[in-house]
């Protein structure tokens, strides 16, 4: 049983593997660092989270439409966006172990070992030095605090250098005159696919400002990672929405989306105290204002989603580099002049969440090792995933009590009726209690059992995952009940 949060994190990772949620990538070759594969129930849970986000962004907002841009983009995209020059983190190497650390991760890990006030003082010094790009000051801070490498145990550090996080690959079969002409990057964020399509989307979907473009898809970053499971990956998925607004209104829209996104998280029923805002002091190269919505993972409060007011930086940069106008004609009347606002480059408020990180937040919150008191005074235990019913991979398990007396046939008929409506699972092997436990462990919110009484009165037993209570229900009410709960 998990006794503390680090144990809980390890228990969640082990559970995710054992029950088909997440596997290390290419595990038979000992895995690939910070790359993971999603198994049968993991890919279903991930899809449900993605769909939940997509529906809330597009279907439920008349002024937001979706796209699906390619991962490869013209290399100039990344020059224009600033990623070639700025998408880097300060790194430091330990000369003895040759291990490389992100400077902020190294200092944060040390701060966690200190008393609260001391740790906070160290972090605020770090924030100040990072926001001034003061690498000499940061190295001195590491030295003064005698921060050691976890592998060599020494303080023998190199100078701090910037390290670009983008992956490069070669494009096409022909050999270009200059080697760099063949280079393309694996996108480090999905946002740029939205910016370069801004006018295509605005014109074809006939959108009027303010409007948004949403996208989900893979992103790649050559992260320096310290065993954080799917929290920090080298290949991951983002769900991003860029909201295009009239310049001067971006502050109000930033506030709107900051609140709106937290409401979306709370709509899943996870308690509010598991979330908090973190306003940025050091802003990314494109940002005017930025904050994170942090979630309390088993590894502590960490960034789950970013909300950024990006100004007109991205569209202006693409306009500059592509020499194509990326402007919008606004024929609304400006009350100050009595004339239309006219042509301008819109400002952007972005909401950006990692799908894998969202998956980890939902999974780690849902995971519970429960002790159950028995009527005879003894106790039993179970591992249950209390996943929100609308996200659960399997919504309904259909279980005949025995393999005989025509019960499997009745259960199969119910399965046929239900599987068109939501994801169902049929199982007749093992004792019913064992089957319930397996469904608890993968988060199935409802199980129905077909027994001999079903033959007499067309009722089944429905068992609720969270309370383990059971009641009888007419077979023809099952679909309605489950649909009501997952809506
Ligand atoms: N377009 C803005 C952008 O990409 P970001 O803060 O770098 O901003 C947004 O990333 C979100 O993507 C983060 O809040 C996080 O949820 C997720 N994310 C970023 N890097 C990640 C990684 N290496 N592994 C998993 N998720 C990551």
Q: Which backbone phi and psi does 273 adopt, to 5 degrees?
A: -70, -10
The answer on 343 and 213 residing in a single domain is: yes
Tokens representing residue 353 in the block: 């969440």
Which atom of ligand 1 is closest in space to residue 306's alpha carbon? 14
Tokens representing residue 285 in the block: 């190269």
Q: Map tokens 């159950």 to a residue.
A: 372
- Find, among 471, 416, 430, 420, the residue nearest to 447 by Cα: 471
Tokens representing residue 10 in the block: 């390890």
- Find, among 38, 13, 12, the residue nearest to 25 by Cα: 38
Give the H/E segment covering residue 184: strand 183-186
The answer on 355 and 407 residing in a single domain is: no
Burial zone of 354 (CB within 10 Å; 0-12 exposed, 13-18 middle, 19+ buried): buried
Q: Ligand 1 mean position to 485 CA, how many Å?
A: 32
Residue nearest ligand 1's atom 2 by CA: 352
CATH number at residue 292: 3.30.930.10
The answer on 276 and 420 residing in a single domain is: no
Q: Can you state the angle between helices 5-18 and 355-366, rounded to 10 degrees?
A: 110
Residue 172 lies in a domain: no
Give the H/E segment covering residue 114: none
Residue 1 lies in a domain: no
Q: Map tokens 């799908």 to a residue.
A: 355
**Chain centre to alpha carbon of residue 101:** 23
Residue 229 lies in a domain: yes
Tell which one of 193, 221, 357, 361 to mutate to probe ligand 1, the residue whose CB is within 8 A of the most ligand atoms. 357
Q: Ligand 1 mean position to 351 CA, how many Å?
A: 11
Question: Distance between CA atoms of 431 and 180, rounded to whole angstroms?
Answer: 63
Let me know: does 21 contact 42? Beta carbons within 8 Å: yes
Domain boundary among the residues 158, 177, 194 is at: 158
pLDDT at residue number 1: 40
The answer on 439 and 330 residing in a single domain is: no
Residue nearest ligand 1's atom 5 by CA: 306
The answer on 334 and 473 residing in a single domain is: no
Q: Ligand 1 mean position to 238 CA, how many Å?
A: 7
Which atom of ligand 1 is closest in space to residue 232's alpha carbon? 24
Neighbours of 128 (CB within 10 A): 14
The answer on 449 and 339 residing in a single domain is: no
Q: Ligand 1 mean position to 92 CA, how many Å?
A: 22
Tell which one of 189, 194, 216, 277 to mutate to probe ligand 1, the residue whose CB is within 8 A of the most ligand atoms. 189
Who's near 388: CB < 8 A, 6+ residues apart? 268, 269, 270, 362
Which atom of ligand 1 is closest in space to residue 221's alpha carbon? 23
The answer on 346 and 254 residing in a single domain is: yes
Residue 384 lies in a domain: no
Q: Ligand 1 mean position to 426 CA, how many Å?
A: 38
Tokens representing residue 211 in the block: 């409007």
The answer on 343 and 207 residing in a single domain is: yes
Q: Please give the tally of structural domains in the chain.
A: 3
The answer on 211 and 352 residing in a single domain is: yes
Tokens representing residue 289 in the block: 């204002």
pLDDT at residue number 223: 87
Q: Ligand 1 mean position to 60 CA, how many Å?
A: 24
Let me know: does 210 contact 257? Beta carbons within 8 Å: no
- Do you find a cis peptide bond into 210, omega within 30 degrees of 0? yes
The answer on 279 and 207 residing in a single domain is: yes
- Residues having CB within 6 Å of any atom of ligand 1: 189, 191, 221, 223, 232-233, 236, 238, 240, 303-306, 350, 352-354, 356-357
CATH number at residue 425: 3.40.50.800
Domain boundary among the residues 362, 384, 409 is at: 362
Q: Ligand 1 mean position to 285 CA, how many Å?
A: 15
- Find, among 226, 7, 270, the residue nearest to 104 by Cα: 226
Tokens representing residue 207 in the block: 């959108």
List the chain pLDDT tens, one digit each, 487 residues.
444 577 999 999 999 999 999 999 999 999 999 999 999 999 999 999 999 999 999 999 999 999 999 999 999 999 999 999 888 889 999 999 999 898 988 998 899 899 989 998 999 899 888 878 899 999 999 999 999 999 999 999 999 998 899 999 998 866 656 666 788 999 999 999 999 999 999 999 999 999 999 999 999 999 876 678 999 999 999 999 999 999 999 999 999 999 999 999 999 999 999 999 999 987 876 788 999 999 999 999 999 999 999 999 999 999 999 999 999 999 999 999 999 999 999 999 999 999 999 999 999 999 999 998 888 888 889 999 999 999 999 999 999 999 999 999 999 999 999 999 999 999 999 999 999 999 999 999 999 999 999 999 999 999 999 999 999 999 999 999 999 999 8
Tokens representing residue 437 in the block: 């436990």
The answer on 198 and 57 residing in a single domain is: yes
Residue 249 lies in a domain: yes
pLDDT at residue number 226: 63
Q: Ligand 1 mean position to 187 CA, how many Å?
A: 12
- Find, among 261, 272, 349, the residue nearest to 312 by Cα: 349
Residue 462 lies in a domain: yes
- Cα torsion 163, 164, 165, 170 to 10°: value is -130
**Chain centre to alpha carbon of residue 487:** 22
Let me know: does 241 contact 213? Beta carbons within 8 Å: yes
Residue 57 lies in a domain: yes
The answer on 405 and 338 residing in a single domain is: no
Tell which one of 164, 238, 243, 261 to mutate to probe ligand 1, the residue whose CB is within 8 A of the most ligand atoms. 238
Q: Which backbone phi and psi does 239 adopt, to 5 degrees?
A: -125, 105
Tell which one of 86, 164, 165, 352 to mutate to probe ligand 1, the residue whose CB is within 8 A of the most ligand atoms. 352
Q: Which backbone phi and psi does 404 adopt, to 5 degrees?
A: -130, -170
Q: Ligand 1 mean position to 213 CA, how many Å?
A: 18
Residue nearest ligand 1's atom 27 by CA: 354
- Structural domain span for residue 347: 18-70+185-362
Residue 474 lies in a domain: yes
Neighbours of 203 (CB within 10 A): 9
pLDDT at residue number 284: 72
Domain boundary among the residues 158, 174, 198 is at: 158
Tell which one of 278, 303, 360 to mutate to probe ligand 1, the residue whose CB is within 8 A of the most ligand atoms. 303
Tokens representing residue 203 in the block: 């014109």
- Find, among 421, 468, 423, 422, the residue nearest to 449 by Cα: 468
């Amino acid at each position: 049983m998990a006794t503390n949060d680090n144990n809980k994190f390890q228990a969640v990772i082990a559970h995710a593997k054992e029950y088909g949620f997440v596997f290390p990538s290419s595990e038979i070759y000992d895995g690939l660092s910070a790359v993971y594969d999603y198994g049968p129930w993991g890919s279903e849970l991930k899809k449900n989270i993605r769909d939940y986000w997509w529906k809330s962004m597009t279907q439920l907002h008349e002024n937001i439409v979706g796209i699906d841009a390619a991962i490869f983009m013209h290399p100039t995209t990344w020059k224009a966006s600033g990623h070639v020059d700025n998408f880097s983190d300060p790194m430091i190497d330990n000369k003895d172990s040759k291990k490389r650390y992100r400077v902020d991760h190294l200092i944060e890990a040390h701060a966690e070992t200190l008393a609260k006030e001391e740790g906070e003082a160290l972090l605020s010094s770090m924030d100040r030095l990072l926001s001034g790009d003061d690498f000499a000051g940061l190295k001195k801070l590491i030295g003064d605090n005698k921060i050691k490498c976890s592998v060599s145990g020494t303080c023998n550090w190199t100078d701090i250098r910037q390290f670009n996080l983008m992956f490069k690959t070669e494009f096409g079969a022909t050999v270009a005159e200059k080697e760099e002409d063949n280079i393309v990057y694996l996108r480090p964020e999905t946002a740029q696919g939205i910016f370069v399509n801004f006018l295509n989307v605005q014109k074809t979907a006939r959108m009027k400002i303010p409007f948004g473009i949403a996208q989900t898809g893979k992103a790649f970053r050559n992260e320096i990672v310290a065993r954080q499971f799917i929290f920090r990956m080298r290949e991951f998925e983002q769900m991003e929405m860029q909201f295009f607004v009239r310049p001067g209104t971006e502050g109000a829209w930033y506030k709107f989306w900051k609140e709106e996104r937290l409401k979306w998280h709370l709509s899943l029923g996870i308690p509010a105290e598991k979330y908090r805002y973190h306003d940025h002091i050091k802003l990314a190269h494109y940002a005017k204002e930025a904050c994170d919505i942090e979630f309390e993972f088993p590894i502590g409060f960490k960034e789950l989603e970013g909300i950024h007011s990006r100004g007109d930086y991205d569209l202006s940069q693409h306009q500059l580099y592509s020499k194509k106008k990326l402007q919008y004609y606004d024929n609304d009347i400006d009350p100050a002049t009595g004339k239309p606002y006219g042509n301008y480059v819109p400002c952007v408020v972005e909401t950006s969440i990692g799908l894998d990180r969202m998956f980890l937040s939902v999974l780690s919150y849902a995971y519970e090792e429960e002790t159950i008191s028995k009527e005879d005074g003894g106790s039993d235990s179970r591992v249950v995933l209390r996943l929100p019913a609308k996200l659960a991979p399997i919504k309904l398990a259909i279980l005949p009590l025995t393999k005989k007396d025509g019960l499997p046939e009745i259960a199969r008929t119910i399965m046929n009726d239900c599987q068109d409506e939501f994801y169902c699972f049929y199982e007749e092997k093992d004792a019913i209690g064992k089957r319930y436990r397996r469904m608890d462990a993968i988060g199935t919110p409802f199980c129905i059992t077909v027994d001999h009484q079903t033959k007499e009165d067309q009722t089944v037993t429905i068992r609720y995952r969270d309370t383990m209570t059971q009641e009888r229900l007419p077979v023809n009410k099952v679909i309605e009940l489950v649909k009501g709960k997952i809506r």
